[in-house]
Homo-oligomer: A and B are copies of this chain.
Amino acid sequence: MAGVSQVTVSRALSDPSKVSKATLDRIQAAIYATGFVPNAAAGALASRRSHLISALVPSITNIVYSSFIRAFSERIRADGYQILLSETGFDQQDEETAVKAHLSRQPDAILLTGIHHSRETRRMLLASGIPVVEVWDISDTPIDTCVGFDHAAAARTVAKFAIKNGYRTAATITAGDSRARQRQVSFAQHFQTAGGFPVMDIDIGGPASIAAGRTALTQILKATDVENSAAFVFCSSDLLAHGALIEAAKRGIVVPDALAIMGFGDQDFAASLEPPLTSLRVDRDLLGHSAAEALIARINGHPVKDVTRINFEIALRNTVLC
């Protein structure tokens, strides 16, 4: 229709500067007229590059992961990549199944959440030879490269913060995921070592929710004499902290005077609660962008360091006395 061969059209699409102005115009006119859409599968087959990047996250309804995914996909899209997304729950077997399905699409790179994967998952990934980034956590032996932060250190920071502000009684509310558990363990250990009493933990088992936060605080209150010992409650997520805040208000317990509540993640609603929630802030956008950049660099053959650490800091607000 444009009076040129197929290769010329291919060139016009991939690198217009290699085609003369006149033919380019004719080709574009023909493309518009026919509604032609290049077949990316054929392109991927021929070029051995799919321009697809896989991402596996535990949950997309969890704002922590969905906002991360947004930042990540924004960045890869800027380089012409599309995202192939799957939810893996918090189960290694589901992850393995998903990895297999994703690998068959020949993604140019893959993102995994966390650093604990099945033996078979590791094997497949290593065999595929594509760049892999593990996010949210730090590992000494990443499959390829990892971008995250040190959860134990973050929890230690919170423990020090609590002690420094005079708290000696503490409790934790922990969701059922490995990183939350890791933080709980580290917090409890350091809080006690630094002079606090043993830390009571409520393990909610499943995903975080406001309802779970309320129930957990109720349990803590049953076991603790709040009136006489201003306690510090460290929640594994802001959502749980939010629930605890609601329950405290309902019971007429004044935060932070009678009870301190601290969240984790510093989600955007944290500052809008009443009182505004003190939380541990992690730059999720930076995490997403860094993970994307690590992958893109590796795809292009550039060196990438094994471990990228993302900073965290305490977002000081009003649910802790200090």
Interface residues of A (CB under 8 A from B): 35, 37-42, 44-45, 50, 60-61, 63, 66-67, 69-70, 73, 82-87, 100-106, 123-124, 127-128, 209-211, 214, 243, 246, 249-250, 268-269, 271-274
Contacts and interface: CB of A to CB of B under 8 A. Distances in A.
A101 B84 contact: no
Contact of A66 (B45, B60, B249): B60
User: What copy number does this chain have within its complex?
Assistant: 2
The 10 closest A-B pairs by CB, nearest first: A35-B127, A210-B272, A211-B272, A40-B104, A41-B44, A41-B41, A210-B269, A61-B66, A37-B103, A60-B66
A82 B89 CA distance: 16
A268 B243 CA distance: 12
Nearest to A43: B104
A269 B209 contact: yes
A6 B35 CA distance: 36
Given A40-B104, A41-B45, A101-B82, A123 B63 contact: no
Contacts of A83: 84-86
A103 B36 CA distance: 10
A60 B69 contact: yes
A66 B50 CA distance: 26
Given A37-B128, A123-B35, A209 B272 contact: yes
A37 B272 contact: no
Nearest to A100: B37
Contacts of A39: 45, 104, 106
Contact of A209 (B60, B70, B211, B268): B268
